[in-house]
Amino acid sequence: MTGERSTTVAGRYDALLLDLDGVVYRGARAVPGAADTLDAVRRAGSRVLFLTNNSSRTPDQVADGLRFMGVRASPDEVLTSALATADLLRAEGPAGPGEATGRRRTVFVIGERGIRDALAAAGFDVVDGEPPSADLVVVGWDRSVDYPKLRTATLLVERGARLVATNPDASYPAPDGLWPGAGAILAAVTTATGATPTVVGKPAAPMFRAAVARTGAERPLVVGDRLDTDIAGAAAMGWDSLLVFTGASRPADLLDDVDLPTYAVPDIRSLMDDVPAGTFRPAAPDDAERVALLLDASGLSADGVAGRLGSTFVCDAGGTLLATFALLNEGGHGLLRSLAVREDVRGKGLGILATANAAMEARRRGMARLSLFSETAEGFFQALEFRTIPRGELDPSIRESAHAREECAASAVAMVRDL
Ligand SMILES: [Mg+2]
């Protein structure tokens, strides 16, 4: 059952909204463990909905593709941006917002079968050729787009048709490289007309609203591989999210200017693991003792914890501190120190999220660079794109800080990362 205390990530949510490419499969192959994990998630009672921004395929085609790779899926577990577009426009009424019913709206489509079928099934009159007018122009991914289609779409928008985009993706990741995506085709129409489109697909909200309408979810979890679409979209909705590293985004990307996920894990299998939420808050006065215990257990100095509590952050799981870090301001330069993760929850993304939270906080305070000293975690920080530099090349305020001169062993390496 769902609930905060569930021992699996999936069990804490009533629906999992899963991105496909980079999460469930890569190219033409399923991600290892994806099929078994999704079966286990369903058995445990969580609803599964696959979300894809690709509007060219129908749900049947998407489900067939998944089954071909060995991943069980039914068409009603698939939400394409085409279906979400049809849902959005249908919800406005057959004749459009604020208009009397009785007339079917006409739609000129740049797109493939997925969006054309979805709009026709939703009761729209899909018009082809070179109609003199239309109520709507819907742009999706279309591998046979040509100048006449772009010209017709542009003329219709100039004449008053409302412009709607199934998704904003600039490119499509093909085996031989990036192909122009729906967003690139859309750009031709917006560049020509200056029109501002209604965008449906991730990271825009209509796709997510369509997902909860279909699942009835009250507490969904967005699972994705892209910070700029899956995770940013979930953050804008105020929902939890889980980032996997089997696709586009890498751990180091979390330190750049982004919305942070609730979980950052190697792959989809973590849905059935007991991974704690990696959310951090500023430490409170009564956290001092527990922070000191956590640092002590991690072999770090707990001296002066109370004095720097105002610069300390904690990941608190219902009263148990799972991770902590401190971000000091040394003459305007950021110094990350005292980063510790409780031993029994190491390797579950909390260290990455702690460092990402430190970077976000440092940027918020106007710091351009994060420095640290490490004795045992040089490899961990290298993976997050920190560079090891001679101490002599540190900012003087960091080099001369009490932490550097008195508390750090001489063997600790100095590392920096620009923000
Ligand atoms: Mg993806």
| pLDDT on residue 257 | 85
- The CATH homologous superfamily for domain 83-199 is HAD superfamily/HAD-like (3.40.50.1000)
Q: What percent of the chain has pLDDT over 90?
A: 87
Q: For 73-90, what is the mean pLDDT?
A: 97
Q: 74 CA to middle of ligand 1, Å?
A: 19
Look up residue 245 and give its DSSP letter.
S
Q: 310 CA to middle of ligand 1, Å?
A: 38
Q: How many CB atoms lie within 10 A of CB 400?
A: 12
Q: Are 75 and 93 in contact (CB under 8 A)?
A: no
Q: 225 CA to middle of ligand 1, Å?
A: 5
| pLDDT on residue 2 | 40
Q: What percent of the chain has pLDDT over 70?
A: 96
Closest by CA to 255, choosing from 362, 339, 400, 159, is: 362
Rounded CA separation 52/19 (Å) = 6
Convert the pLDDT of each residue in 5-15 to its tens digit: 579 999 999 99
Q: 237 CA to middle of ligand 1, Å?
A: 18
- pLDDT band at 378; cut points 50, 70, 90: very high
Beta carbons within 8 Å of 265's beta carbon, 6+ residues apart: 242, 243, 244, 245, 273, 275, 348, 349
Rounded CA separation 282/240 (Å) = 20
| pLDDT on residue 398 | 94
Note whether 83-199 and 281-418 share their fold: no
Beta carbons within 8 Å of 379's beta carbon, 6+ residues apart: none
Convert the pLDDT of each residue in 361-375 to its tens digit: 999 999 999 999 999
Look up residue 174 and give its DSSP letter.
E
pLDDT at 3 over 70: no
Convert the pLDDT of each residue in 45-76 to its tens digit: 999 999 999 999 999 999 999 999 999 999 99
Rounded CA separation 10/272 (Å) = 6
Rounded CA separation 292/338 (Å) = 10
Question: Does residue 155 or residue 28 have the better pLDDT?
Answer: 155
What are the DSSP calls for 105-127, one per residue?
PEEEEES-HHHHHHHHHTT-EEE
| pLDDT on residue 321 | 97
Rounded CA separation 137/212 (Å) = 26
Omega of the bond leading into 203 within 30 degrees of 0 (cis): yes
pLDDT at 407 over 80: no
Q: For 183-196, what is the mean pLDDT?
A: 98
Q: 63 CA to middle of ligand 1, Å?
A: 16
60-69, 196-205, 224-233, 406-415: least confident range:
406-415
3-state secondary structure of 287: helix
Q: 34 CA to middle of ligand 1, Å?
A: 14
> Is residue 19 annotated as part of the catalytic site, yes or no?
yes
CATH fold of 281-418 reads: Aminopeptidase (3.40.630)
Q: Are 126 and 145 in contact (CB under 8 A)?
A: no
Among residues 14, 19, 87, 230, which one is catalytic? 19
Among residues 21, 135, 142, 225, which one is catalytic? 21
Q: 256 CA to middle of ligand 1, Å?
A: 19
Q: For 397-415, what is the mean pLDDT?
A: 86
Closest by CA to 47, choosing from 16, 1, 74, is: 16
Domain range list for the chain: 10-53+203-272, 83-199, 281-418
Convert the pLDDT of each residue in 270-323 to its tens digit: 999 999 999 999 999 999 999 999 999 999 989 999 999 999 999 999 889 999
Beta carbons within 8 Å of 272's beta carbon, 6+ residues apart: 8, 9, 10, 37, 40, 41, 44
Q: Architecture of domain 10-53+203-272 in CATH? A: 3-Layer(aba) Sandwich (3.40)
Q: 86 CA to middle of ligand 1, Å?
A: 22
> Is residue 64 annotated as part of the catalytic site, yes or no?
no
- pLDDT band at 99; cut points 50, 70, 90: low
| pLDDT on residue 1 | 40
Q: 30 CA to middle of ligand 1, Å?
A: 13
Q: 25 CA to middle of ligand 1, Å?
A: 9
Q: Which two tokens stand for residue 373?
A: 């000293």
Q: 244 CA to middle of ligand 1, Å?
A: 10
- pLDDT band at 98; cut points 50, 70, 90: low
